[in-house]
């Protein structure tokens, strides 16, 4: 029964990251739930082996989502 319910459980979404050096060249690719802790990793829409040792296309980057902190919500008038 647990196996049955696990089919409907939400799983964390796997995300794609590219390791970019100071010149903007892609040096590595990673897929996982969280961003790697060390290095200049940027989130990208998809992974492509063609990017290795090439400048990372600007269109590949995912725009960071900027949210409002939970403690500072706008007050209704």
Which tens digit of pLDDT belongs to each residue from 27-76?
A: 999 999 998 988 899 999 999 999 999 999 888 988 766 666 656 666 66
Q: Both tokens of residue 18?
A: 């590219």
pLDDT of amino acid 70:
59
DSSP string covering 13-29: PPEEEEEE-TTSBEEEE
CA distances from 73 to 15, 64, 67, 70, 76 (A): 29, 20, 11, 6, 9
Instruction: Locate 22 and state its tokens.
Output: 């100071």
Average pLDDT over residues 21-32: 93
How would residue 20 be classed by pLDDT, with cut points 50, 70 and 90?
A: very high
Residues 11 and 35: their CA atoms lie apart, in Å, by 17
**Taking Cα atoms as reference points, which of 15, 4, 18 lies closest to residue 49?**
18
Q: Does the pLDDT of residue 6 top 90, yes or no?
A: no
């Amino acid at each position: 029964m647990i196996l049955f319910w696990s089919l409907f459980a939400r799983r964390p979404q796997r995300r794609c990251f590219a390791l970019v050096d100071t010149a903007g060249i892609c040096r590595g690719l990673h897929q996982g739930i969280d961003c790697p802790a060390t290095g200049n990793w940027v989130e990208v829409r998809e992974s492509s082996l063609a990017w290795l040792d090439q400048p990372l296309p600007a269109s590949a980057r995912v725009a960071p989502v900027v949210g409002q902190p939970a403690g500072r919500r706008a007050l209704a008038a």
